[in-house]
Amino acid sequence: MRDCIMNENFKQNVAPGATPEEGFTRLNRIMSLLRSDCPWDKKQTFDTLRPLTIEEVFELSDALLDGDDTKICEELGDIIMHIAFYARVAEEENRFTFTDILNRICEKLIRRHPHIFGDERVNGDEDVKKNWEAIKLTEGRKHSVLAGVPHSLPSMIKAYRIQDKVRGVGFDWEKPEQVWDKVQEEITELREAAAVADTAENSVTNARVADGVTVAAAVESFTADTRAEIAAEATGNHAETTDNRAEVTGNHAEAIGNHTETIGNHAEATGTHAETTNTRAEAIKTRIKDELGDVFFALINYARFLGINPDDALEHTNRKFIKRFKYLEDKTIMQGRSLHDMTLDEMNVYWNEAKEQE
């Protein structure tokens, strides 16, 4: 009854807070009201909220890339709302509270900044990062430097975080030139693997052709021999009895059966050869995938040495490509044409126009 009265009073007084503290209090009361009165909010769980939270993080990422402060503020609010939502669900299940969340992060920040809240001395941000990683290893069950890297991170961001974390314990190159040499080494290995794949593909094609020719020649040879045999029998043995002709026919049928079996054995051998070839092709494909992954990993590492976030760089290129392609599409529509009917050279005219306008 008391909660109902509080909720009714709050509905009449939802004015914005003047301080962060008042704002947090207001948000918590709103979430409490929604969980008690809204059919959709009452149904939500950690599992149903998770994909929505991920979506909100990506929307914040878009806003940050756009540099739109209004959107950034809005998306940050959505994420804070999700945190309050999780906290409210957890509190209802007696797991933890919003206060627990805030206290825990505050304690972590104090513990991992001994140069601020203790007597530790540092000479720059690199010392701070090394201390941070060293302190993490003493906490809980995380006995590996890489234990804090989420498994579900996108691959490029994960690679960047892995490299940054091992750098904190000294496992890193000393100069950008060394990293670039590694990039070139990995590219060479990728090209070699791709060359092996091309050679193998040509071999498979040639083998298939050869097998086809062999079978066809065998069948043709058998057909020619059979015709000659039948002609000889018809000429030399025309006077033989019906029984003798039957015996010849039986022997001939046996010969046909034996020859057919030979062709069948050859086909079986060809199938086994094809299976072996497919297994080899899969092994080659796996090697190419490994080498390509090594190239990406080395390039991401080189980007880190250049002080460039590779995910930001790739997203910049994605947006640039989309902008140019939309220009191409718009120009095509203005002329009443279709991209499907244009040559690549014609498309490149508009593509280059788009580049010139950047």
Worst-scoring range by mean pLDDT, 61-65, 140-144, 305-309, 349-353?
140-144
pLDDT tens, residue by residue, 105-116? 999 999 999 999
Contacts of 277 (CB under 8 A, 6+ apart): 200, 203, 204, 207
> How far, in Å, CA of 310 to CA of 160, rounded?
8
Whole-structure pTM value: 0.61
Q: Please indicate whether residue 224 or residue 319 has the higher confidence score (pLDDT).
A: 319
**In Å, what is the CA distance from 335 to each residue of 328, 329, 331?**
11, 10, 6
* Percent residues over pLDDT 70 in the chain: 73
Q: Please indicate whether residue 186 or residue 133 has the higher confidence score (pLDDT).
A: 186
Task: Give residue 122's pLDDT.
Answer: 93
Task: Compute the average pLDDT of residues 186-211.
Answer: 75
The confidence band for 17, taking pLDDT boundaries of 50, 70 and 90, is confident
pLDDT of 358 higher than 80: yes
Burial (CB count <10 Å: 0-12, 13-18, 19+), residue 118: exposed
Task: Compute the average pLDDT of residues 327-356.
Answer: 93
Q: Please indicate whether residue 274 or residue 188 has the higher confidence score (pLDDT).
A: 188
Q: Which fold does the domain 2-142 belong to in CATH?
A: Helix Hairpins (1.10.287)
pLDDT of 254 higher than 90: no
Task: Give residue 152's pLDDT.
Answer: 86
Local structure of residue 121 (DSSP, 8 states) = -
Task: Give residue 2's pLDDT.
Answer: 47
* HEC-encoded secondary structure of 72-100: HHHHHHHHHHHHHHHHHHHHHCCCCCHHH
Q: Helix (H) and strand (E) counts for the chain?
A: 13, 0
> How far, in Å, CA of 25 to CA of 19, rounded?
10
Whether 310 contacts 160, CB under 8 Å: yes
The confidence band for 133, taking pLDDT boundaries of 50, 70 and 90, is confident
Q: Please indicate whether residue 139 or residue 189 has the higher confidence score (pLDDT).
A: 189
